[in-house]
Amino acid sequence: MNLSKDETGKTRLMIRIASHRGGTLEYGDSTPRGFAATAAMPLEEVEFDVHPTADGAIIVHHDPTLEGTTDRMGAIAALTLAEVKAATIHYSAGGHPLTLIELCALYASSRVDFRCEIKPGADGLAYPGFVPKVIDLLARHGLLERTTFSSFLLASLDDLAAATDRPRLWLVSPPVLKQVGVHGVIELCRAHGVPEIGVHIDTADATLAATVQAAGIDFGCWAAHTPAQIDKALALGVKVFTTDRPTLAIARRIAFRQKEITA
């Protein structure tokens, strides 16, 4: 439970906002300007995804390949750092993919914490030996103690647990939630020692949140991009939600708090 003092000095539940990929719908997908803007925002987390290059660098990018969101092609893991850096991200005002080292430098003096998603490669499988390298880099650049990790892959969450005691959460996709159900999800959390999950906002409801929380597992949401989705996350009282529209989410959270105060 995240409690904080509100504008009136009253202690209230703090619903955390995570700027997804640096605010994709406001700044482009995983762009330098989006990450720079997020670093100065009154929110709690910046969400980003990481991939290794062929020559050992770590890149902050959503897809395992470049073609979806840049003017270049290829799998990041098969390219050199120089080749990835040559890509220009669409809708980025000319920005190129950041390295994780560059992202650490951007956030060194920011109050916004890291939410680092461990992504699979283009084959859908975890990159072998990748997690300890990410953790080592974050530790060397002073950001590990400000990082929460996330992944859709239980294998990557296991790798994280073996390498760090930093918080980690399981991103439960709609098909997985549908297939195993809430009780299956809770069982898997227990089997893997996972203390928190995030579900797609459209699959969240009060019963699901209460069932998960009653099992001692923290509950959050992802992909809250529209005003209705953001307001739903706020009304559910989730621990944290990710959004492609961080500026909008901040405004909605202020309005939500004002309504609570005057209610």
Contacts with Fe ion, residue ranges (CB under 5 A): 49, 117
Smallest gap from Cβ 126 to Fe ion, in A, equals 15
Smallest gap from Cβ 119 to Fe ion, in A, equals 7
Q: Which is nearer to Fe ion, 49 or 244 (CB)?
A: 49
Q: Which is nearer to Fe ion, 88 or 173 (CB)?
A: 173
Q: Which is nearer to Fe ion, 60 or 261 (CB)?
A: 60
Smallest gap from Cβ 20 to Fe ion, in A, equals 7
Q: Which is nearer to Fe ion, 190 or 233 (CB)?
A: 233
Q: Would you state the structure tokens that stand for residue 195, as one six-digit string?
A: 């203390």
Cα of first residue to Cα of last residue in the chain, in angstroms, is 22
Minimal CB distance to Fe ion: which residue? 117
Q: Would you state the structure tokens that stand for residue 108, as one six-digit string?
A: 């060194």
Smallest gap from Cβ 253 to Fe ion, in A, equals 21
